[in-house]
Homo-oligomer: A and B are copies of this chain.
Amino acid sequence: MAKRFSVDEYADGILAGNRMVLSRAITLVESTLPTDQHLAQQVLDRVLPHAGRSVRVGITGVPGVGKSTFIEALGLELLRQGKRLAVLAVDPTSQRSGGSILGDKTRMNQLAAQEQAYIRPSPAGRSLGGVTRSTREAMILCEAAGHDVLFIETVGVGQSETAVHGMVDFFLLLMLAGAGDELQGIKKGIMEMADAVTITKADGQNETAAKLARREYQNALHLFPLAPSGWNPVVTTSSALTGAGVAEVWQVVEQYVEQTRQSGYFQRRRQEQNLHWLYEAIRQGLEEQFYAKASVQQQLPALRQQVLEGSKSAFGAAAELLGL
């Protein structure tokens, strides 16, 4: 890793919108070295008053749905509207897949070439807890650097969607038109987190199927209860190829933001998310300290086996370990 800056150098560079300093600072929050973590917290505390002024959008969908091309099309549209965009990725499996998600920036080469867009792949080789933590912190840094829209991309096959849902204002689900089994591969519960669904690749021969799928999803979403936001999820069709329906997705996001800002839900949700992350960070810290203890590491395997076999109760085994 490149040499460290001072707290002031990081903070001033970020606030000036210096991309190189921003990248180095994100590398710092991703680092697991205690000295780096300490430095990162100081940088975060410095820039925090300048963060929080973006719209945070989570975007998910199964592989093959055309996530990169959609993000590129929507991102270029936002730049045309004069916005500054940061795209971050959350993929705790990237240690196995070799970092496919956003790992190859050429997937979005038009967007990546723009001065007003900042694209960052998922940190590699980290657990979900680690990835979500550093992503949360990278979001603060990107906002302080002046990005007014954040996209948080996730792969749509695991637990990461729930974590991303807990750190964004708006959750967008990309779907393919198909024959009833289009939800295969999407984890249960993801559809209900969506504030909007867009059926991608709605062009050429696929257009009729996309419109049918749109109606089907809209009906299915009506079966779900009204979200605490008071917002009715919207289903649209879009084509990154023709550009049809792409700008409309952003109009939906803006309507959502306006409605929930007026109702106060937007601000309240962010406060709740902040608190949630505090308790989450405490939990993570407690567990890290606990499982790192030599006595726990020594006793856990045997107790785990007894609990698995049902020869010891879970709470009894936990009580033994907690007494260590």
Interface residues of chain A, those whose CB is within 8 Å of chain B, are 37, 41, 44-45, 48-49, 51-52, 133, 136-137, 140, 180, 183-189, 191-193, 216, 220, 222-227, 270-271, 274-275, 277-278, 280-287, 289-290, 303-304, 307-319, 321-322
Contact = CB atoms under 8 A, between A and B. Distances in A.
B287 A307 contact: no
Contacts of A185: 225
B183 A223 contact: yes
B312 A48 contact: yes
B275 A48 contact: no
22 contacts: A41-B313, A44-B313, A45-B313, A51-B310, A136-B314, A183-B224, A185-B225, A187-B225, A188-B225, A271-B310, A274-B310, A275-B308, A277-B307, A278-B303, A278-B304, A278-B317, A282-B290, A283-B283, A283-B287, A284-B318, A286-B286, A286-B322
Contacts of A222: 180
A275 B304 contact: yes
B188 A192 contact: yes
Given A48-B311, A52-B310, A184-B226, 12 more contacts: A41-B316, A48-B310, A48-B313, A186-B225, A189-B189, A271-B308, A274-B307, A278-B307, A282-B287, A282-B318, A283-B283, A286-B290
A307 to B, nearest CB: 5
Nearest to A188: B192
B192 A285 contact: no
Contacts of A140: 313
Contacts of A317: 278, 281
Q: What DSSP secondary structure best describes chain A's contact surface?
A: helix
A183 B225 contact: yes
A197 to B, nearest CB: 12
A164 to B, nearest CB: 16
A133 B315 contact: yes
Contact of A281 (B180, B281, B318): B318
Nearest to A193: B188
A233 B41 CA distance: 48
Given A274-B310, A286-B286, A45 B316 contact: yes
Contacts of A37: 319
A180 to B, nearest CB: 7
Contacts of A284: 318
Contact of A282 (B277, B281, B321): B321
Contacts of A192: 188-189
A311 to B, nearest CB: 7
Q: Which of A187, A277, A313, A319 has the most CB of B within 10 A?
A: A313
A319 B186 contact: no
Contacts of A289: 322
A16 B316 CA distance: 23
